[in-house]
């Protein structure tokens, strides 16, 4: 699964710079996560860094974007390849 930021987001700006894939950006009302770029930090870290730094716990797994660890790793490989 990719991650999703819910409407409890306080726009504190701490999650965006922590994302190694630049999947987090400012939305109309609060930050959003692009599921095509989110790997839950697989390949980079053991835990999703945005969840680690979020002071209000507003980031969770997106039930609408279920992905396995293997598919997240494949996405990581594609995003970090030089081709």
| Structural domain boundaries in the chain | 3-80
The per-residue pLDDT for 82 is 76
Assign domain 3-80 one CATH number from 1.20.1260.10, 3.30.565.10, 3.30.70.20, 1.10.3720.10. 3.30.70.20
d(CA 8, CA 83): 38
If you average pLDDT over every residue of the chain, what do you get? 94
Give this prediction's pTM.
0.91
pLDDT cut 70: percent of the chain above it: 98
d(CA 5, CA 50): 10
Three-state SS string across 47-82, please?
CCHHHHHCCCCCEEECCCCCCCHHHHHHHHHHHHCC
Mean pLDDT of 17-25: 97
């Amino acid at each position: 699964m990719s991650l999703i930021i819910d409407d409890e987001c306080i726009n504190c700006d701490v999650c965006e710079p922590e994302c190694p894939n630049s999947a987090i950006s400012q939305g109309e009302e609060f930050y959003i996560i692009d599921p095509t770029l989110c790997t839950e930090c697989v390949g980079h870290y053991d835990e999703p860094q945005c969840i680690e730094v979020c002071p209000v716990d507003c980031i969770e797994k997106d039930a609408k974007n279920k992905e396995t660890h293997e598919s997240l790793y494949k996405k990581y490989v594609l995003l970090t390849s030089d081709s």
